[in-house]
Amino acid sequence: MLQQTTFITMFVVILLVLGLVLFFKFTSASIDQEAYEYEFSQFQQLVHIFPSMPEVQCSKLGVTEDCMDVGKLKAFSEISRDYTTTFGAKTITIKEVYLSPFELTVYDGKPLEWEEERIVSTLVSLYYPEQKIYGIGKLEVRWYEGTN
């Protein structure tokens, strides 16, 4: 009788523990998933945020314009390693699609290893200050997930 009670009690306790462990794993996973979804939405927003950064946005006599300055993009690409904490494991490239061929890796944070690669792109207006002409560029951001 005592052995039976002990056995049943132990069984119920084990079920309870298992249930709790699963429940907490599920709840923690849903919190992590929400955090990931937020990070992903921030990544998607980057193609809209990056062109309006003062480091690359066109400006004339202090007035900003809705375009990316190719002169600033080239200069920024030379110092972009200082922006690792801002951009992390991503690469940002710009490619002219209308005028003469021009392609530039503006930021290169590509890690040695990653699990998944996400890509988001948009068309942007480019300004070439040397020639004083406007072109159309494809801004592409790649995010390398699962890096160590």
Smallest distance from other proteins to CB 108, Å = 17
User: Which residue, chain included where needed, has tokens 């070439």?
Assistant: 128
Closest CB to other proteins among 77 and 91?
A: 77
User: Judging by beta carbons within 10 Å of its beta carbon (0-12, 13-18, 19+), is residue 73 exposed, middle or buried?
Assistant: buried
By CB under 8 A, name the binding residues for other proteins: 2, 5-6, 9, 13, 16-17, 20, 24, 27-28, 30-31, 34-35, 38, 42, 45, 49, 52, 54-55, 57, 59-62, 64, 69, 71-72, 74-76, 78-79, 82, 85-86, 129-130, 132
Closest CB to other proteins among 97 and 133?
A: 133
Phi (first) and psi of residue 53, to 5 degrees = -75, 140
Smallest distance from other proteins to CB 8, Å = 10
Conformation bin of residue 129: beta by default, left when phi > 0, alpha when psi is -120 to 50:
alpha
Closest CB to other proteins among 5 and 100?
A: 5
User: How far apart are alpha carbons 139 and 120 in whole angstroms?
Assistant: 8
